[in-house]
Structure 1
Amino acid sequence: MGETLAIAISNLTSPMVLFFALGLAAALARSDLALPEAVAKALALYLMLAIGFKGGVGVAAHGLDARLIATLLAGAVLSAVIPLVAFAYLSFVSRLPRADRAAVAGHYGSISIVTLVAATETVRSLGLDYEGYLVAVAAVMETPAILTALWLASRGRDPDRASDDDADSGSLFREIALNGSIVVLVGAFVIGFVTGEKGLADISAFIVDPFKGILCLFLLDMGVIAGRGLRAGYRSLTPAVIGFGLTMPLIGAAIAAPTAWAIGLSAGGTALLVTLAASASYIAVPAAMRVALPEARPAIYLTLSLGVTFPFNLTVGIPLYAAIGQYLSG
């Protein structure tokens, strides 16, 4: 318990969390602080490139084996199942329309790559080993949650509307698969796998040294977006719905932890898989929901994932998930 508290305090005083808090406070105070959209997009692409490339290098060093395949399959199953749990939970504690509940559920089955990055930094600071292929697992966990969310939403639609949606499903799935963040993440992973340690050494000055500073700038912008979402959507966020945003990560973590233990992941790898299951998307899934469920309200699903769950994971969740990884690995 004492070690977990020490990790939490260290996380709370890290530059990453403090820059997020600065952006959040600035938005709540109605400051005009903002990053140009093109700059914010470039920062996000940089983070995807860096984490994907380093993950590919890690897999090249580790080699392909049964544990890697088992972890990929586990990630896909977790991504498909967690939205079902989230939907049932949200249905029990709120009266939100079905489309809103389905959209929120999809966010919690998918993942936040920036939460994974922050957890990776924490795991690394603790000196814990972890499997580099967890980046590939993150990519695998994007799409199943979206498909589950669309299925949940379609169950409450009339047959004519459902048939129209089926006609558009091919283009939607193509758009999901070709989402810029996923393309860069998977592509950089493949390049890192092909080039290995030599490739990492060649561009380390670009993707290793500046990484933390760029992450701080990105989190500053995320704080601003989260603060604005809280200001705009607070009327729709009842205490029960906010409670969902704070407790659903713990439920996801509780589902993933025994899975990671059964696979035999390292302490760091367990912490990262648990983090993925506990995180909530705010990039890929919102883009898909805007196309597939236009009736769902971003003021609810985006504010919950970015304004409630994301800061919870940064401050409380990640230290807890690291402690879970250490405990399960003996």
Structure 2
Amino acid sequence: MNLNLLFENLTNPALLFFILGIVAVYLKSDLEIPPNSSKFISLYLLFSIGFKGGQELSHESFSFEIMWSIVFGLMVALLIPLYTFFILKQKLNIYDAGAIAAAYGSVSAVTFVTAVAYLESVQLVLHGHMVAIMALMESPAIIAGLVLISYFDKDNETQIKKSNALKHSLTNGSVLLIIGSLVIGFLASDKQAQGIKPFTDDIFKGFLAIFLLDMGIVSGRKLNTLLSNGWFPFVFAILVPLFNGSLIGLLSGAITDDVSSRFIFAILAASASYIAVPAAMKITVPKANPGLFLPMALAVTFPVNITIGFPIYYYVVSTF
């Protein structure tokens, strides 16, 4: 592995702002990003990624490789919840196991956005169809988690409204925005896209740094809640994403030779949703403990991915 690349990633300003947010919490600082500002920045990042992805997609020709990439992404989103559920069920109740399995089968838009910045640092370009695949991978994992909970809930103590969960996973704001921006970017001409390029490109990294500062503050506040649940969730949140990302990064070589796309596949497999899945589980499985699966995804898996995960996945896809 290229240690210089690892060091460069660890000294990336965006990552350091994330660490600063955690430090601020433990120093009991009053540093805080206003909720409305945080929401605006997250919407901006999703809009920018979607629009640029649509522009890239408009220059791509639909091929069997893209078709198989879509199928591969959907299979990953379905299979990860299946195997992780049975691991989790050994130590946790079925409600928490199903919710965590859904979170780790689904994807993190914020991790995806951060990965795009990492691609730029190694002079690689994100392909538009990978943005579409990211959006498509959100729903299958939620559905898989709900089906598993429903099947193993022998006493039928939880009334799971699958139609509500499906609707929420498809109309979730982050999914809707990134798909909508993808379509708009696809339809816009190069000349039209150039007119808003300063907004979609030039200020992207600055907004990403501020957003990760906010994520660091949120993560720091939730870490103690996770640690109070014992060692198993903490270890799971570290090892399983690294395994998923490395394995899918390796297997993606059978679908495409493109290093950029393979890296994104690894990121999608390694990331865990802490926006769409918690919201869906709150509606459909109220017995699932958000104090468990939310900090696992946000306070452990997210920083693990952006610190040591990115260089590992890049090494795997560029070497094998």
Q: Aligned-pair distance for 1:160?
A: 4.8
The CA deviation string for residues 79-134 of structure 1, in whole angstroms up to 9 with x for no partner, is 01101122222234xx2221111111111111112212222222222123442211
Does the 8 Å contact 1:74/1:259 carry over to 2?
no
Q: How many equivalent residue pairs?
A: 320
Kindly report which structure 2 residues correspond to 1:173-212, keeping only aligned pairs within 5 A, or say none: 173-212=166-205
Q: Aligned-pair distance for 1:161?
A: 4.3
Is 2:110 the partner of 1:114?
A: yes
The CA deviation string for residues 244-283 of structure 1, in whole angstroms up to 9 with x for no partner, is 1111112212441243211124111111111111111111
Counterpart among 139, 144, 161 of residue 135 in structure 2: 139
Structure 1 runs not aligned, ≥5 long: none
Counterpart of 1:223, as a letter, is G
Q: 1:90 to 1:196 in 2, by over 3 A?
A: farther
Q: Distance in 2 between matches of 1:111 and 1:88?
A: 20
Q: Distance in 1 between matches of 2:105 and 2:296?
A: 13
Match of 2:265 in 1: 273
Q: Distance in 2 between matches of 1:79 and 1:175?
A: 17
Counterpart of 1:156, as a letter, is F
Match of 2:100 in 1: 104
Match of 1:85 in 2: 83
Match of 1:75 in 2: 73
Counterpart among 219, 235, 245 of residue 243 in structure 1: 235
Counterpart of 1:280, as a letter, is A
Q: 1:203 to 1:78 in 2, by over 3 A?
A: same
Q: Aligned with 1:155: secondary structure? A: helix
The CA deviation string for residues 214-262 of structure 1, in whole angstroms up to 9 with x for no partner, is 01111111111111111233211x2222111111112212441243211
Q: 1:32 to 1:255 in 2, by over 3 A?
A: same
Q: 1:125 to 1:191 in 2, by over 3 A?
A: same
Counterpart of 1:233, as a letter, is L
Does the 8 Å contact 1:269/1:325 carry over to 2?
no
Does the 8 Å contact 1:130/1:267 carry over to 2?
no
Q: Distance in 2 between matches of 1:96 and 1:34?
A: 34
Q: Aligned-pair distance for 1:30?
A: 2.6
Q: Aligned-pair distance for 1:31?
A: 2.3
Does the 8 Å contact 1:107/1:285 carry over to 2?
yes
Structure 2 runs not aligned, ≥5 long: none
Match of 1:325 in 2: 317
**TM-score relative to the length of structure 2:** 0.95
Match of 2:225 in 1: 232
**TM-score relative to the length of structure 1:** 0.92
The CA deviation string for residues 270-318 of structure 1, in whole angstroms up to 9 with x for no partner, is 1111111111111111111111111111111011000010000010001
Match of 2:208 in 1: 215
* Poorly superposed stretches of 4+, deviation over 6 Å: none
CA RMSD of aligned residues (A): 1.6
